[in-house]
Amino acid sequence: MNISVEQLVTCGLSREEAESWSTQLQDWTAACDEPLRWKKITTHLLTPAVPFAVHELLYAENYPQLRKRQLPCPAWFPQPNESSATHVAQWLADLGLANYEELHAWSVSHQEEFAAKLTAALSIRFHRPAGRCCDTSAGIENVRWFPQATMNIVESCFQADDDALAVIAGDQDNQLEYLTYAQLKALTARVANGLVELGLQPGDRVAISMPMTADAVAAFLGIIAAGCAVVTIADSFSANEMAVRLEITQPKWIFIQDEIIRNGKSLPLLEKLANQETVRAIVLRASSSRAIGLRPGDVEWEDFLSADSVLRCVPRCPEDETTILFSSGTTGHPKAIPWNQTTPIKSASDAYFHQDIRPADILCWPTNLGWMM
């Protein structure tokens, strides 16, 4: 690790600090491997009070060998009491396994047992019991998950206490909106029942093109609860890019904001549908001005929402579509990517194992529904 005093000073340390740190770093470079050296750096040198540029410099320069071999460079090391309390550690203890590599190997060689244990851990709800979790009779490339089951994955989303926090949404003015699970469930139900009242049937497609707001979350869940499939379209797309995706998926309706307010400036969104005669819009207002008029056949969000706030999820087959995303289309025609009722189980599995997400944890997801993150 070869960092000069001048580099540390340029990043914000005093010269006295930089000289002391440089000596310490040289000692650790001689005595420690890269991961151990970073552990010492984060334990004994770096604090929130140290300029972030120093954090970046030390991390960038600490792992030359791992970077050369294209291996992960650890940024954080859990304490023993933290790592032993993780979901992964609990599974290792339950199964009598020694490490993550053995757990991964077990999940591959015991697919049925792994899927059953995972769905139980995640409290996945089924209308008709799953029976077998995994059918590979047509080959591993054509695996069928829960082939005997019926389900609606939205039901698995509402198992927290009614007054637990479900969504925190912020706007351009840094105003925060909070929704409890009870409030989100009621709004989801009003969306799902509103779609049924419009005459939509299970399997119909409904698009969403709007920022990630609390209403967008409820619209997404409500579409799936009604047995329909969400077509996600990024609100940053041009009218032509939006038209291509609508043509591919043929949704019956689209949830869309009239405009996006960004840094005090209005960015029209609804007008991108001006030439789209085959899809009608449910329009959410970004402000109270209502300056942007609706097209014939479009409806206001408030008029669309059902008065019925009881959630009744439509049972579906696990392989039925829930969501259609798109590739960016930067290298050619955009490609539709279908998700089904089991895809969120994979997402939850990743959060459960790799992020060790627990009830009441808060996740920040700075993107909108049009992108596959």
DSSP string, 112-176: HHHHHHHHHHTT---SB---SSEE-TT-GGG-EESTT-BB-GGGGG--S-TTSEEEEEE-TT--E
- Res 233 pLDDT > 80: yes
Mean pLDDT of the region 158-173: 92
pLDDT of residue 60: 94
**3-state helix vs strand vs coil in the chain, percent to 5:** 40, 15, 45
CA distances from 3 to 38, 43, 72, 246, 338 (A): 14, 19, 21, 54, 49
- Res 338 pLDDT > 90: yes
Structural contact between residues 222 and 188, judged by C-beta atoms closer than 8 angstroms: yes
Please state, rounded to an integer, the average pLDDT across all residues of the chain: 94
Residue with tokens 């990517």, as numbered in its chain? 337
Q: Around Cβ 181, how many Cβ atoms within 10 Å?
A: 18
Token reading at 117: 């244990």
pLDDT of residue 78: 85
- Res 308 pLDDT > 70: yes
pLDDT of residue 122: 97
Structural contact between residues 298 and 283, judged by C-beta atoms closer than 8 angstroms: yes
Token reading at 126: 């089924």
* Side-chain half-sphere CA neighbours of 269 within 13 A: 26
d(CA 152, CA 193): 15
Q: Using CB atoms within 10 Å of the CB of residue 193, give its burial: 0 to 12 exposed, 13 to 18 middle, 19+ buried.
A: buried
Structural contact between residues 289 and 196, judged by C-beta atoms closer than 8 angstroms: no
> What three-state secondary structure class fits 281?
strand
Structural contact between residues 14 and 8, judged by C-beta atoms closer than 8 angstroms: no
CA distances from 153 to 49, 69, 144, 320 (A): 44, 41, 16, 11
- Res 159 pLDDT > 90: yes
This prediction has a pTM of 0.86
- Res 94 pLDDT > 80: yes
Token reading at 282: 């449910």
Sign of CA dihedral 203, 209, 211, 214: negative
